[in-house]
Structure 1
Amino acid sequence: MSDEIKIGVVPEGSIWNPEAAYGTLHLGIDVGSTTVKLAVLNDDNQIVYAKYQRHHTDVRACARDRFVGAAGLLERTPMTCAITGSGGLLLSQWLGLEFVQEVIASKRAVETLIPATDVAIELGGEDAKIIYFDQGIEQRMNGTCAGGTGAFIDQMATLLH
């Protein structure tokens, strides 16, 4: 993975919006069971940089590459950082960064970006979560099983491709 990272070069498949890179930026990284997602937003919640990548079980290398890619484009910019996701706790401890439980992170994002939402469903690689917003906050989650979640859908998409 590391050989693809070049400082100051936008990695292929990334979203890069340098005009939005002002003020304090907010970096979030979601380490899931199959992928690492990194997003940098400004104070107006505009996407400055985003990258989604499969980690192929090498979470540290993939996360490092995502950080290096973002840092190479956003050097010397004040930034807050937080990590979420099923594989994020260990990484947050390793890096000394704030960890936010993934349902809480999803809830905050929905309340901030799409506040009129009644229900949000998130399909992860190993579980599915549903958050109800209409009468207070209620959350449910299935057991850890690939059937009916993102990993299953991903496998079927690969077979059908």
Structure 2
Amino acid sequence: MRAGLDIGSTTIKGVVMDDSGHIIWSSYERHYSHILEKTEEMLRQIQKTTGNEPIILGFSGSAGMGIAEHAGVPFVQEVYAERISAKKLNPDTDCIIELGGEDAKILFLSGGMEVRMNGSCAGGTGAFIDQMASLLKMKPDEMDEAAQHATRK
């Protein structure tokens, strides 16, 4: 089994996959700057899911490197992980767009690799989307559902 944590600027994501690559557990939640506590909590959830099965564990994300080094766990830079995953899961992928909590990246994969990133403004990122959801008194996933059923007036 394989497990990974992506510890970002605003959220922590976790996944456990069986040996066939099927997802058997996943979680996505805000850490509200309680990064270590949320990491420990998610690791306990992973342990509960995997029991005594040995796992291969890795970390990624802007807040993951220090924790990975401290814990002796391999760290994978997220742009690299995204590129490798896209190549494996959909080899014809030409472009990857990543909206993080505080930045946005676009990866062009054709003809070599090029990465572009917005400045330090949070506009167009997960933080902005969360703010708009709050103003609309919705959860971000509810915004997606509402957009799918929207009509022009």
> How many Å separate the matches in 2 of 1:27 and 1:153?
28
Residue 108 of structure 2 is aligned to residue 116 of structure 1: no
| Aligned residue number for residue 115 of structure 2 | 139
| Aligned residue number for residue 129 of structure 2 | 153
| Aligned residue number for residue 43 of structure 2 | 67
Alignment-mate amino acid for residue 75 of structure 1: G
> How many Å separate the matches in 1 of 2:19 and 2:100?
27
Q: Deviations over 1:5-40 (max 9, x none)?
A: xxxxxxxxxxxxxxxxxxxx1111000111110001
Aligned residue pairs total 137
| Aligned residue number for residue 45 of structure 1 | 21
Q: Normalized against structure 2, the TM-score is what?
A: 0.84
Q: Which runs of 5+ in 2 are unaligned?
A: 138-153
Q: Normalized against structure 1, the TM-score is what?
A: 0.80
Structure 1 runs (4+) greater than 4 angstroms displaced:
none
Q: Deviations over 1:83-122 (max 9, x none)?
A: 0001111111221101111111111121122222111100
Q: Which runs of 5+ in 1 are unaligned?
A: 1-24
> How many Å separate the matches in 2 of 1:26 and 1:140?
30
Instruction: Return the offset for 1:41.
Output: 1.4
Q: Taking every aligned residue pair, what percent have the same amino acid on both sides?
A: 43
Residue 68 of structure 2 is aligned to residue 89 of structure 1: no
| Aligned residue number for residue 142 of structure 2 | none
User: Which shifted more, 29-38 or 140-149?
Assistant: 140-149
Alignment-mate amino acid for residue 29 of structure 1: L
> How many Å separate the matches in 1 of 2:87 and 2:45?
29
User: Which shifted more, 46-55 or 132-141?
Assistant: 132-141
Q: Indicate the RMSD between aligned Cα atoms, in angstroms.
A: 1.2
